[in-house]
């Protein structure tokens, strides 16, 4: 079972990679829709705080199976949204 600490590391790593892609887009494609890229960065940062809040407030009195399901849903949501952010960037 993933621990809360491991899930936090995964969330931060994945979303920081998305932000890094945004900054690379700003650096190497300066003429292409910079405002859209900055909006994506703001959305990613907002989503990062939202999802970390969910990870920090997991149901502590639940069974291990329920906690595992809770974290797997968070990871699935994270992966889906990170793909959407990259699609918006492209």
C-beta neighbour count of 25 within 10 angstroms: 19
For residues 88 and 40, the answer to whether their CB atoms sit within 8 Å is: yes
Q: Cα–Cα distances in Å, from 79 out to 7, 11, 72, 85?
A: 12, 9, 11, 10
Domain boundaries, the chain: 4-89
CB 46, CB 81: distance < 8 Å = no
Tokens found for residue 67:
């906690």
Question: CA 49, CA 53: separation in Å to the nearest integer?
Answer: 6
pLDDT (tens place) for every residue of the chain, 90 residues total: 467 889 999 999 999 999 999 999 999 887 778 889 999 999 999 999 999 999 999 888 989 899 889 999 999 999 999 999 999 988
């Amino acid at each position: 079972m993933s621990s809360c600490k491991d899930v936090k590391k995964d969330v931060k790593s994945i979303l920081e990679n998305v932000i890094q892609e945004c900054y690379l887009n700003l650096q190497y494609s300066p003429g292409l829709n910079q405002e859209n890229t900055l909006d994506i960065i703001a959305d990613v940062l907002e989503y990062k705080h939202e999802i970390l809040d969910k990870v920090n407030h997991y149901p502590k009195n639940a069974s291990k199976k329920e906690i595992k399901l809770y974290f797997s849903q968070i990871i699935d949501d994270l992966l889906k949204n990170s793909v959407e952010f990259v699609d918006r960037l492209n």
